[in-house]
Amino acid sequence: MPASRLDAAALKGRLVDTHTHCGGVDLSNFYKKRYPYGQDILDLEGKREAAGVDYQVVFPMPTSIYYHIPSYWRRGAFVPSGYCDYPFQLENEHLFASISRFSLERMLPFAGFSLQAQVPQQERAVWDLAQRYPLYGLKYHTKVDQKNALAIERDSAFLDLARALGIPITVHTEEKGCSSAAALLELAARHPEVRFCAAHFGGFSQAVFDAMSRGGPKNLYLDTCPLLARCRFLARHGAGEGMLDLPYHAPRQVLEVYLEAFGTRLLWGTDAPWYNYGALEAPAEQPLISYADEAAAVEGPALRALFAANAQRYLFGNEVEER
Ligand SMILES: [Zn+2]
């Protein structure tokens, strides 16, 4: 019997940040001397309160310490580190236990998973988590795991688990490579009963944008995180092949293009703390972006009401009708 969760009505009209990370260290970034490399759960709670955001969906940091980080970076090998028995064992436990310990009722945790090792053990562990704590979804990081979204279907039973628990799956996406948003589009079309989110605007993929503009799979959402940081990066470095050519120097205009095309399928998120990213020895891009800056980028009652309704539908599915 899964632990009881908030019901859909609790989120009515509330602003939900649908993409944050906390409750641990990202050893991969720490090892590579990159920022950010961690976020404490109470720090994130403080940022939420100060910015006037009502709820936060929270994921573990992207890399699990199950893997030996030097082997990953030197040889691309997924080798056990000895810290724990299976991927995301400690990360999920820390996240869920901390939320419970500090009664952080505005945090809606998703469990992380990896498809590179001990998959059946992870499935049993996530099922067990759902019995002990409120569980709102699953998070998969394609780039860190070096597998595309279709591997969720091929290499695991996580789709069955999502279906059984009625929870969605958020997937890291980019335009190409193993993070291909097109692969997630295909997966979503094949499994209409599971809700998916293509994180980071679906990599600003033109093909995915076109498919979604034509209606796309109704169970696929895109998140807009981190709006300011992604737009700043693309304004400086340019969009790659296959990506939309948009006025990236003006994030609100970029958002408007997506809102116009398929506004009811967009989720607002910040990707906290991943909005000031880079090598420690390189100068940080100025001005620094804060959590409050990302929250302020979605000011306005109509926009906030739209994002609230979308998050409600993404998290709770059929309990809430599309407007
Ligand atoms: Zn993220």
CA–centroid distance, residue 171 to ligand 1 (Å): 9
Cβ–Cβ < 8 Å for 112, 86: no
CA–centroid distance, residue 184 to ligand 1 (Å): 16
CA–centroid distance, residue 196 to ligand 1 (Å): 15
Q: According to the model, what pLDDT value does residue 205 have?
A: 98
CA–centroid distance, residue 202 to ligand 1 (Å): 12
Q: According to the model, what pLDDT value does residue 157 have?
A: 98
CA–centroid distance, residue 86 to ligand 1 (Å): 21
Q: According to the model, what pLDDT value does residue 323 have?
A: 43
Q: According to the model, what pLDDT value does residue 319 have?
A: 55
CA–centroid distance, residue 173 to ligand 1 (Å): 10
Which residues are CB-contacts of 24 (< 8 A; sequence separation ≥ 6)? 38, 60, 61, 90, 91, 94, 95
List the one residue out of 316, 284, 310, 299 whose CA is nearest residue 51.
299
Q: What is the 3-state secondary structure (H, E, C) of the chain?
A: CCCCCCCHHHHCCCCEEEEEECCEECHHHHHCCEECCEECHHHHHHHHHHHCCCEEEEECCCCCCCECHHHHHHHCCCCECCCCCCCCHHHHHHHHHHHHHCCCCCEEEEEEECCCCCHHHHHHHHHHHHHHCCCCEEEECHHHHCCCCCHHHHHCCHHHHHHHHCCCEEECCECCHHHEHHHHHHHHHHCCCCCEEEHHHHCCEHHHHHHHHCCCCCCEEEECCCHHHHHHHHHHHCCCCCECCCCCCCHHHHHHHHHHHHHHHEECCCCECCCCCEECCCCCCCCCCCHHHHHHCCCCHHHHHHHHHHHHHHHHHHHCCCC
Residues with CB under 5 A from ligand 1 (ion): 271
Q: According to the model, what pLDDT value does residue 32 have?
A: 97
CA–centroid distance, residue 145 to ligand 1 (Å): 13
276-293 per-residue burial string, b: 16 or more CB within 10 A, e: under 16: bbeeeeeeeeeeebbbeb
CA–centroid distance, residue 219 to ligand 1 (Å): 20
Which residues are CB-contacts of 302 (< 8 A; sequence separation ≥ 6)? none
CA–centroid distance, residue 241 to ligand 1 (Å): 23
Domain boundaries, the chain: 14-319
CA–centroid distance, residue 271 to ligand 1 (Å): 5
14-319 — its CATH code?
Answer: 3.20.20.140
CA–centroid distance, residue 108 to ligand 1 (Å): 15
CA–centroid distance, residue 267 to ligand 1 (Å): 13
Residues in the chain predicted with pLDDT less than 50, given as ranges, are: 323
Residue 185 — φ and ψ, nearest 5°?
Answer: -55, -45
* Distance between CA atoms of residues 156 and 300, nearest Å: 41
Q: What is the pTM of this model?
A: 0.97
* Distance between CA atoms of residues 77 and 71, nearest Å: 6
Q: According to the model, what pLDDT value does residue 318 have?
A: 62
